[in-house]
Amino acid sequence: MEIAFYLSAVVAVLATLGVVTGRHPVHALLYLIVSLIAVAMVFFALGAPFAGALEIIVYAGAIMVLFVFVVMMLNLGEAAAQQERAWLRLSTWLGPAILSGVLLLVLLVTLIGTDVGGRIEGETLTAKAVGTLLFGPYLIVVELAAMLLLAALVAASHLGRSEAHDESHAVRQVPSKRTADGRGRAASERSLGDDTSSEENSR
Amino acid sequence: MTSLLALSPLILVCATAIVVMLTIAWRRCYDLTATLTVIGLNLALAAQLLAWWQAPLDVTLLMTVDGLSIFGGVLILVATLACATLGHAYLEGARGPREEYYLLLLCAAAGGIALVSSRHLASLFFSLELLSMPLYGMLAYTYRERGALEAGVKYMVLSAAASAFLLFGMALLYARTGHLDFAGLGEALASAGSDGWLLAGMGMMLIGLGFKLSIVPFHLWTPDVYEGSPAPAATFLASASKVAVLIVLLRLLQSAPATQDAWFHSLLAVLAFVTMLAGNLLALMQQDLKRLLGYSSIAHFGYLLVALVINEGLAVETAGIYLVTYVLTTLGAFGVVTLLSSPYGGADASRLHHYRGLFWRRPYLTAVLTVMMLSLAGIPLTAGFIGKFYIVAVGVEASRWWLVGAVVAGSAIGLFYYLRVMVTLFLPEPGMQRRDATTDWAQRAGGVVVLALAALVVLLGVYPAPMIDWVRLMAAT
């Protein structure tokens, strides 16, 4: 099992390097997923299957959602598809593929192999043990984490909504600027008035 | 039950945050939100008395309620109250949603209160994050200003890096000692002797906490963030957030006698020395009051580090007294900046030339700012003098002459730029003025807070006995 630990750790480090040096967000995310799965493997090797499973469900799952968001934000069209095809070269996917191949190998060897040098010392942490710890002595940390999530949510919603608000401003004011005569100015004034009234409504 | 009573300030602040959130969801009403926030904070302040009856008490293995934590909690709540009141005047004219400010403020206050009473690395980390996370939102609150957005992003990125250092340091310490609670960690460190991994872990934790306190090699973010962020948020960052981190550092140093280890000890002393001198020297030629206050806060935390380095005799009491005077003075100085910049309309009035001739328009506000500057400089008859006197006394008693010399030199340099601000206030008024306080500032809550702070600073400078008794009582338990 020790070899599984070290191999997964090396994969995690290499994949994270790939994230940092990646020039394209989508490619970096590919490496990030490999890195997270490798960390999950490390947890499994250390005898903490619960943490490992959480790592895969929460992180790899959440990162997949992030992935989707990035793809959504990129302007996808015919040109983008062409670009995508151009990017899909051997050199791009070779790195993540080799690293995940190593992880798969480690998994297969530990599954099939009978004894590869015993296991790392320590008892297995189950979901039940984690639960009793979290809601026993560490209850306050759980509550603090809840407040932390609330604060992060509020901060993100405040800053995020303001951006959307600004965009709607910009969109509404562009046509009035194009007509440079008095009517255009009147229109822009009206649109400003609309803005304030809509703001008042939203309050 | 006693545990719940002991934690009641924290619980009340969290409950207020949730009530405020539900109120915002139900109906957006600016005044109602502000009133609820202030009521909740006052209740929490009163609940510190309940906690005091239970103290000293360990609540689970994560928290402890003792004199130090109640002292820190009271300071944080007072600072938060001042920030809420100042923020009310400031945000009155702001466009867009204004209510979230109070929600973020309450969450940050909860983080601060939890931080001062944590005695376990897990609760330390979570409270520190709970303190910092709302601050990202508060610093970038007026996102339409480029400066505010820059301040928020800068603080977020650098703070995340510092948190990573802190976490890595904790992991190293845990890997070597197997303890996460301060007491166990201290014992293990004392018996372990010098070990490379332990030193690396302690150094990394120091980097993480030093960043939040803006100690010199990690201070680069401070002036930019202070300058760009909206004034009430900067006030919170400069007062409550720093108090909380300093108190937890104090607790950490106290419960880990192994940090008396010569190597670590002299490292702290060097940091204190450099921080005092660099903070004061960098402030010399600033043309911006908020930047100047940022550098001045760096220097003040250098002075405070002296008390932490010595860590014997009156050191805890000294740190407490210095924190009280620092918080009152900083709140007052930033309060004047906030009043001059409120109601919010574009960038804050922070350039020094905005303050030129302020005396001829707003004599009382000028008096407040003058008192605050004198107190920051440590002139007798202001509270700042008492704090500085204690620092020098403790340094002399422990015969750390280098540190005492740096305190004296730093104060001498500091006098120059504080006086420069004061001279600006009394210069003849230039033709055009961009920003000014509203005419009825003294009748509004923010103005009353600032005036009360000025009165308190003078009063404590003349008659410091009650403050000293209180801090001594708190330090004793």
Q: What is the pLDDT of residues A144-160, one digit of tens each?
A: 999 999 999 888 888 87
Q: Look at residue B27 in the predicted model and tell me its pLDDT.
A: 87
pLDDT over 70 at B335, yes or no: yes
Q: Is residue A203 part of a domain?
A: no
Considering only CA atoms, which of B336, B322, B252, B255 is closest in space to residue B292?
A: B336
Residues A88 and A152 in one domain: no
Mean residue pLDDT across chain A: 71
The verdict on B110 touching A (C-beta cutoff 8 Å) is yes
Q: What is B169-221 written as a DSSP string?
A: HHHHHHHHH---BHHHHHHHHHHH-S-HHHHHHHHHHHHHHHHHHT-GGG-TH
Residue with tokens 């600072």: B79
pLDDT over 90 at B299, yes or no: yes
Q: Is residue A120 part of a domain?
A: no
Tell me if B219 sits within 8 A of B155, measured CB to CB: no
Whole-model pTM: value is 0.83
Q: Is residue A185 part of a domain?
A: no
When pLDDT is cut at 50, 70 and 90, the band that residue A64 belongs to is: low
Q: Which domain holds residue B335?
A: 2-476
Instruction: Give phi and psi for B57, each to the nearest 5.
Output: -150, 135
Residues A7 and A70 in one domain: yes
For A155, the closest chain B residue by CA position comes to B137
Q: Look at residue A57 in the predicted model and tell me its pLDDT.
A: 86
Q: Is residue A35 part of a domain?
A: yes
Distance between CA atoms of B168 and A75, rounded to whole angstroms? 39
Residues A103 and A132 in one domain: no
What CATH number does the domain containing A11 carry? 1.20.120.1200
pLDDT over 80 at B161, yes or no: yes
Residues A137 and A108 in one domain: no
| Structural domains counted in chain A | 2
Residues of chain B neighbouring A144 (CB-CB closer than 8 A): 111, 114, 123, 126-127, 130
Residues A14 and A77 in one domain: yes
pLDDT over 70 at B381, yes or no: yes
Residues A85 and A142 in one domain: no
pLDDT over 60 at A178, yes or no: no
When pLDDT is cut at 50, 70 and 90, the band that residue B147 belongs to is: confident
The percent of residues in chain B predicted with pLDDT above 70, rounded, is 97
When pLDDT is cut at 50, 70 and 90, the band that residue A196 belongs to is: very low
pLDDT over 80 at B390, yes or no: yes
A40's tokens? 């999950």
pLDDT over 90 at B329, yes or no: yes
* Nearest residue, CB atoms, B60 vs list A137, A151, A156: A137
Amino acid at B97: P
Q: Which domain holds residue A102?
A: 1-112
Q: Is residue A20 part of a domain?
A: yes
Contact A150 B100 (CB under 8 A): no
Residues A138 and A55 in one domain: no
Mean pLDDT over residues A107-131, rounded?
Answer: 68
Residues A104 and A129 in one domain: no
Q: Look at residue A74 in the predicted model and tell me its pLDDT.
A: 62
| Structural domains counted in chain B | 1
Residues A22 and A99 in one domain: yes
Tell me if B348 sits within 8 A of B420, measured CB to CB: no
Q: What is the pLDDT of residues B24-46, one digit of tens each?
A: 999 888 889 999 999 999 999 99
Q: What is the pLDDT of residues B308-327, one digit of tens each?
A: 888 777 888 999 999 999 99
Distance between CA atoms of A145 and B65, rounded to whole angstroms? 20
Residues, chain B? 477
Cα separation values, B349 from A121, B229, B236, B288, Å: 62, 12, 18, 9
Q: Look at residue A176 in the predicted model and tell me its pLDDT.
A: 41
* Nearest residue, CB atoms, A151 vs list B95, B134, B143: B134
Mean residue pLDDT across chain B: 88
Three-class SS state of B328: helix
Q: What is the pLDDT of residues B174-216, one digit of tens each?
A: 988 888 888 888 888 877 767 788 888 888 999 999 999 999 8
pLDDT over 70 at B407, yes or no: yes
A49's tokens? 């299957």
pLDDT over 80 at A179, yes or no: no
Residues A136 and A106 in one domain: no
When pLDDT is cut at 50, 70 and 90, the band that residue A200 belongs to is: very low
Mean pLDDT over residues B330-355, rounded?
Answer: 83
Contact B134 A155 (CB under 8 A): yes
Residues A134 and A108 in one domain: no
pLDDT over 70 at A44, yes or no: yes
Q: Look at residue B139 in the predicted model and tell me its pLDDT.
A: 92
Q: Look at residue B72 in the predicted model and tell me its pLDDT.
A: 94
Cα separation values, B392 from B21, B384, B402, Å: 46, 12, 11
The percent of residues in chain B predicted with pLDDT above 90, rounded, is 54
When pLDDT is cut at 50, 70 and 90, the band that residue A77 belongs to is: low
Q: What is B107-141 written as a DSSP string?
A: HHHHHHHHHHTB-BHHHHHHHHHHHHHHHHHHHTS
Q: For residue B63, what is the DSSP state?
A: E
Residues A76 and A136 in one domain: no
Residues of chain B neighbouring A199 (CB-CB closer than 8 A): 95-96
Q: Look at residue B213 in the predicted model and tell me its pLDDT.
A: 92
Contact B137 A159 (CB under 8 A): yes
Q: Look at residue B133 in the predicted model and tell me its pLDDT.
A: 93
Q: Is residue A96 part of a domain?
A: yes
